[in-house]
Amino acid sequence: MIAPMVSAEELRKRVDALPRQNFAILPTGLQSVPRLAALAGVRELLVKRDDLTGLALGGNKSRLMEFILGEAVAEGCDVIVAGGGGEQSNHAVQCVAAANRVGVDAVIVLQSRPGARSNGNALLHEVLGGHTVWIDSDPQMQDRTSAGAHMHLEAERLRAQGRRPYILESSLHALSVVAYVDATLELYGQVAEAQTTPTRIYVTSEGAALGGFLLGSRLMDLPWEVIGLDWRPTQSGTSARLLSAISAAASALGVSNPVAEADIIIHPTGGPAYGVGSAQSWEALLAAARLEGLILDPVYTAKGFAGMLEDLRERPPEPEQRIVFVHTGGVGAVFAYEAELRRHVIKSASK
Ligand SMILES: Cc1ncc(COP(=O)(O)O)c(C=O)c1O
């Protein structure tokens, strides 16, 4: 183990030593959005375009899948068993797309919910294929254990057929956090090249992306604050779960974990419920589209963006400061929210 405070070169070597499949278009862009910066009241707002990773409709999970499938393929697995979310799951879509890309099968466990939307990611998922196993619903997406238990049953069934399954119980996994340590290195290189230093990184995450930015930033002692933005009402135990994934990621990289639970900042913006927009999130979605042509999604990034605006109002930065918002994707879900978009967004804008 080496002590905390690792050079970027050393961290790059450690990340690159792990097995990986390359299918995302990286680095993702870092784009200045001056009209949204004016709205946010900051000198410069930069959007890290992780929505444009190039796999299916892109998003944060493409990065994760490079390392997860890297390990799966290195272990000789021929089918990935994953999922856990609902019919609009971006994770499920990305798992199947990544598996297709690498040439392994995908079995996806999903929770069926009353009133499920068949458009958007659900449609995309069907187009991409894979085998879906439906289990009973959990509206707030809290009980991952029952989805995990079903994944193990599926894996048993597959093993009995002579298959070699790789089980990904949750997207919160050591290698997912590593993927966002890799993203931190990428962002660090981009801001160094642009000779600019952001002071806050905002990301719609209470999981891997937040964990990776925190771990990478602390290991390299980068001069910015990392703030997670909730996409559902705050759950108990979130920080403890995240910390344990961060520790596992640090072990995978062979470094000590410099992140403490107190370092995990998550701004609560996920109300009123998972997948249900708030007045602020619809407004944020509209502002990004109308000011910059930037499409946020109703489930995750519009809530995150609204939370960032709120945090900037509550804790205004110094006038010279630059801010980064990481756009984690989710665009496929937009098309499943046609009714709400018409009701809340398009109508209110044309008043
Ligand atoms: C588009 C998008 N943004 C953000 C998140 C939240 O990510 P995390 O699991 O890191 O909290 C997800 C998770 O599914 C997502 O699909």
Residue 179's closest CA among 268, 306, 81, 55?
55
Let me know if residue 28 belongs to a domain: yes
- Check whether residue 160 and residue 180 sit in a common domain: no
68-84 pLDDT, tens digit each: 999 999 999 999 999 98
User: Is the pLDDT confidence value at 350 over 80?
Assistant: no
291 backbone dihedrals φ, ψ, rounded to 5°: -90, -35
Let me know if residue 105 belongs to a domain: yes
**CA–CA separation, 199 vs 317, rounded Å?**
9
- Write b or e for each residue in 115-140: b if 16 or more Cβ atoms lie within 10 A of its Cβ, otherwise e: eebebbbbbbbeebebebbebebbee
- Check whether residue 52 and residue 162 sit in a common domain: no
User: Is the pLDDT confidence value at 143 over 90?
Assistant: no
Helices (H), 113-237: 121-128, 144-160, 174-193, 208-219
pTM of the model: 0.95
Model confidence at 2, pLDDT cuts 50, 70, 90, reads very low
Let me know if residue 138 belongs to a domain: yes
Let me know if residue 1 belongs to a domain: no
Q: What sign has the CA pseudo-torsion 212, 321, 186, 255? A: negative
Token digits of residue 11: 């961290």
23-63 pLDDT, tens digit each: 999 999 999 999 999 999 999 999 999 999 999 999 999 99
- Check whether residue 49 and residue 77 sit in a common domain: no
Cα 326 to averaged position of ligand 1 atoms, centre (Å): 11
Full domain range(s) for residue 197: 8-57+173-349
Q: Checking DSSP bridges between strand 30-32 and strand 44-48, what pairing results, if any? A: antiparallel
Q: Kindly report the number of other CB atoms within 10 A of residue 195's CB atom.
A: 6
User: Is the pLDDT confidence value at 296 over 80?
Assistant: yes
User: Is the pLDDT confidence value at 125 over 70?
Assistant: yes
Cα 328 to averaged position of ligand 1 atoms, centre (Å): 7
Token digits of residue 77: 């697995």
Q: The domain that contains 45 carries what CATH number?
A: 3.40.50.1100
Contact residues of ligand 1, CB 6 A cut-off? 59-60, 90-91, 171, 204-210, 231, 297, 300-301, 328-330
215-252 pLDDT, tens digit each: 999 999 999 999 999 999 988 999 999 999 999 999 99
Let me know if residue 3 belongs to a domain: no
Atom of ligand 1 nearest to the CA of 205: 11
**CA–CA separation, 325 vs 20, rounded Å?**
26
CA dist 316 to 158, 228, 258, Å? 54, 17, 27
User: Is the pLDDT confidence value at 164 over 70?
Assistant: yes
